[in-house]
Structure 1
Amino acid sequence: MASSSGQPLGEPSTDFNALTTLECSYTFPTFNASVAFDLGIALRNRILSLPSTQRKPAVISISTSNGNHILFQSVTESGTTPDNEEWVRRKRNTVLRFGSSTWAFRQKFLASSTPGQNVEALFAQGRGLKSSVPGGVPDDYAIHGGGFPIRVANVDQVVGVVVVSGLKQEHDHQVIVEVIKQFLGKN
């Protein structure tokens, strides 16, 4: 098991335009099962190295854009629950449908919400998404941080999705950003 006294995660941007620009700049030269495995291991190792103030058991899932072909899935350590799987599913659906990270989409809806307004319910209403509870969160989508699109050079659409579930939502997002940045050798 990795040390729990590693470098803490930075704070993610809350600017929708900056977030989407960053996402589009993180383009993989290729993406296949080997790349997904290496990326998944890098994410797992990074989460395990987080300081105890940020580290929690998490699920890491990497899939192709059809959403049901999992290339990598692992828990970081004991303590995840079936609820983490539900978050993975809903975050993946959001990235696949809207082509943006769940954190960026959250920031977009936060910018148009009023204080105290349920941003998930606003998202459901604004996009006509089914909710089992009137005025509630969408059944099949989530705009909590931790879902991130995989793009490949010279391919117009998202080809895969990385999801982390279990940390604080801003950390679910930021660990993906930091690991992909390092993985792609971005400065």
Structure 2
Amino acid sequence: MFSTLHGMSRSDAQLAQEALNQEGSYRFPAFSASDAVTLGLSLRKRFRASHRHAKGKGLVISIQSIAGHPLFSCTVGDLGHFSGYADVGLDSWSCLEAMINAVKRTGHSSFYVEKGANALGKTPKQMGIQEVPVQGGAFPIWLENAPICPVAVVACYSGSSQDDHNLVVTSIRDYLNKILRNSEAGTSMPVPSIAPPPRPESRSDWNLPEVTTVASEYTRPESLYDGHDDEH
């Protein structure tokens, strides 16, 4: 039985290649702060509905721009809860930041970095990536028309490399499919119409009196020199 399970398992090289293919397939047409919040809430909802959360596991979520600006941050579970559930450790955020830094450093998902290093028989430190170990759960956000570098990083940490990676990738895949369905159905945000500029008012609209000059009523004022020509 164990030999059969061993034959069904995939190698680190195969897992790394699969993660690389996912990075190339799941790219956004655009990514805004609103997308980050929607995606973050989706991650939270999915984890709360999972069997791992039901067994007492906790999760930390962070979505940042590639420059490090926080777009979404959330903790699922409490370390000091009286039930003992949701074991969010004090080092959870430190592990999450290490995963995010690995994505920023390499441009690849932390799961790809982990499995790629394992396939080469090296540690992240030996590969010059970082000092601390790397595990799956952080994924780069690429734009379809911007192959230079990722624009953001989506990351979650619960202590399970494979599960955290699958949670992030599945949430991104479903969110992209939703965007595609909305665009095909034409349910995107309508473009606001721009009202034409107001027409300049004519003089008749101002109700100003017309100024008329009648030649017969106009009399030139007398000059001091009037009548002097008669004396000469």
- The equivalent of 1:38 in structure 2 is 38
Question: Is 1:108 aligned to 2:116, yes or no?
Answer: yes
- The equivalent of 2:164 in structure 1 is 172
Instruction: Label 1:94 to 1:125 Cα distance change in 2 as closer, same or farther (>3 A).
Output: same
Task: Give, in angstroms, the shift of residue 13 of structure 1.
Answer: 8.5
- The equivalent of 2:155 in structure 1 is 163
Structure 1: state its 5+ residue gaps: 1-10, 114-118, 130-137
Task: Give, in angstroms, the shift of residue 54 of structure 1.
Answer: 6.9
For 1:45 and 1:60, how far apart are their aligned partners in 2? Answer: 12
Letter in 2 for 1:177: V
- The equivalent of 1:150 in structure 2 is 141
What is the DSSP-based 3-state SS (H/G/I as helix, E as strand, rest coil) of the residue aligned with 2:126? helix
Letter in 2 for 1:38: T
For 2:50 and 2:129, how far apart are their aligned partners in 1? Answer: 38
Number of matched pairs: 159
- The equivalent of 1:92 in structure 2 is 100
Q: Is the 8 A contact 1:95 1:102 kept in 2?
A: yes
Under a length normalisation based on structure 2, what TM-score does the superposition of the two structures give?
0.63
Structure 2: state its 5+ residue gaps: 1-8, 80-87, 179-232
Instruction: Label 1:55 to 1:170 Cα distance change in 2 as closer, same or farther (>3 A).
Output: farther
Instruction: Label 1:35 to 1:12 Cα distance change in 2 as closer, same or farther (>3 A).
Output: farther
Question: Is 1:82 aligned to 2:90, yes or no?
Answer: yes
Q: Is the 8 A contact 1:60 1:163 kept in 2?
A: yes
Instruction: Label 1:48 to 1:106 Cα distance change in 2 as closer, same or farther (>3 A).
Output: same
Task: Point out the structure with max Rg over C-alpha.
Answer: 2
What CA RMSD, in Å, does the superposition of the two structures yield over aligned residues? 2.4
Q: Is the 8 A contact 1:54 1:167 kept in 2?
A: no
